[in-house]
Structure formats: C-alpha cells, structure tokens
Amino acid sequence: MKIGFSTGSIALDDVCRGIDIAIHDHTNAIELSALREQELDPLLNLIGKIRNRLSIFEYISFHAPSKREMFSEELLVSKLKKVADLNWAIIVHPDLIENFELWRTLGRAVCIENMDKRKTTGRTAAQLKYLFDQLPEATFCFDIGHARQIDPTMLEAETMLRDFHYRLRQVHMSYVNSQSHHERLNYECILAYQRVTQWIDNSIPIILETPVNQNEIDEEISLAKKVFEFVHINHEDDLTPKQHQVSIHRSEG
C-alpha cells in the first residue's frame, strides 16, 4: 500500500519540514504542496535540491496553487511544465482552469480533484465528466472527504469512482467538516469511506491531508488503513483498451 502525507497538511508552507515529518517507516508516498501562488516558485526552485531526499518515496505528487491572482493562466501552466516533466501528478482544482487548451499541453500530468461545497464546479460526477471530456488525458485525484461532504450517503462518491476509476491516480483522505476544513480521521468518516473502498484499487496511493504532528503519524496511518479492511475488487477487466492506456495503476516517483 502506498500511503503518506501532504506537506501542506503537516507543515503548511514549510516543505522541507514537511518532508522531515513525512519520512517515516510506514510512509512511502508524499504530496508536495504549493497551495498559494507565492509558494510555487520557492518550491519549484527547491525540487532540484531535494530530489535525493525524495528518492525514498515510491510515489510523489505536486499540488498546484488553489487560486490564481498574481499569475496569468499561461504563466502558471508554463511553470507547472517543470513538474509535468518529472512525471509527477499535478493536483489541480478545476475552478483554476479557464483555457482548456493550455492545460492540455500538460497531458496526463493534470490530475483533477473533486471539490467541496464552497466550489461551483467539480463537485459531482456529471461536472467531472465535462472536465475530463475537455482534458482527455487528465487523471483523477479522488478526495473522499470532499465527496462525503457533498453527499453523506456516499452515492455520489460511488458514481465518481464507477465512472472514473480508470483515471484514478491518487486519493486524498481526511475528515472534511462543515466549514470545509480538513481534520483528522474519525470513526464516523471511516465507516462512510468503507462504503466505496471496493472501487479503489490497492495500488492507488493514499495521501492524507490530516493535520498531525510527528508522534501522531503511526496512529493516523493505522486509522487510514481501517478504511480498506474490505476485500478489494480488481476492476481492470472492466476497462476498454482506450481506458487501459489512461490507467496509471503502476509505481511512480
């Protein structure tokens, strides 16, 4: 199982500290976070210096800024090209996208995340379908906490996974409260998340967005693993040849 943390959830904008906390016996995945525009250039400049430290992780992803205020869309995409060239998933909030043609130049590096109730797009399977139709090579970051906030029955979450499991590249996991803040996993959300785990192949990396300190990592990983205490169903036989081409059920780093 590939599992780890977002640097943003455990160290905010201090990526180096986030890596220090994330390097742990039970973690083998990491998401480097630049949620704010002013964090992007420092992180891009840091990548070359930390590649050796990152080599212990089997899976690495990169969270793009969630809002665009300083950069033009063209400039932002050009900056993210450096990440795409590393074959890392670039987690993108769909409301960031205005010019689909620009984002198509990043190919399969674009990894669309489903949104919480604050956003007007990317919240439902139907809205995601429109985005994927415009970005045919894009992959999917399934935020299970966002999905539960939108529909506590988890039916919308199941629809997303049924429709886009062949695009699934990683899972964001946390408890998302009514104010759309990420919190640590709890019994209530674990039970809800278990309803859809059959649609998440055990090769898919799990990125925890829970705010923990270093001595809470073991406990949080243990809670996350409880979500997957059901037998996984392998859906690869359901994929068409075209879908097999997009499927990314393999190691990345």
> Could you report the per-residue pLDDT of 39-81, keeping only the tens digit for each?
999 999 999 999 999 999 999 999 999 999 999 999 999 999 9
Is the Cβ–Cβ distance between 221 and 27 less than 8 Å? Answer: yes
The fraction of the chain above a pLDDT of 70, given in percent, is: 91
Beta strand extents in 121-167 (DSSP E only): 139-143
Average pLDDT, the chain: 91
**How far, in Å, are 112, 140, 249 from residue 93 at the CA level?**
6, 11, 22
pLDDT digits (tens, 9 = 90+) for 179-210: 888 899 999 999 999 999 999 999 999 999 99
**How far, in Å, are 85, 86, 207 from residue 105 at the CA level?**
11, 15, 26
Q: What pLDDT does residue 48 have?
A: 93
Q: Average of pLDDT values for 32-42?
A: 97
For the cut 50, the answer to whether the pLDDT of residue 245 exceeds it is no
Token code pair at residue 159: 């629809």
- Describe the crossing of helices 37-54 and 73-84 by its angle, rounded to 10 degrees: 0
Lowest mean pLDDT among 94-103, 127-136, 232-241: 232-241
Token code pair at residue 107: 């190919």
Instruction: Domain ranges for the chain, please list them.
Output: 3-246
Q: What pLDDT does residue 8 have?
A: 95
Residue 73 is inside which H or E element, if any? helix 73-84
Q: What pLDDT does residue 180 have?
A: 83
Report the alpha-carbon angle 198-199-205, nearest 5: 100
Confidence of residue 230 (pLDDT cuts 50, 70, 90): low
Token code pair at residue 91: 């987690």
The fold for domain 3-246 equals TIM Barrel (3.20.20)
- Report the C-alpha gap between 81 and 83 in whole angstroms: 5
Q: Average of pLDDT values for 21-34?
A: 93
Separation of first and last alpha carbons in the chain: 15
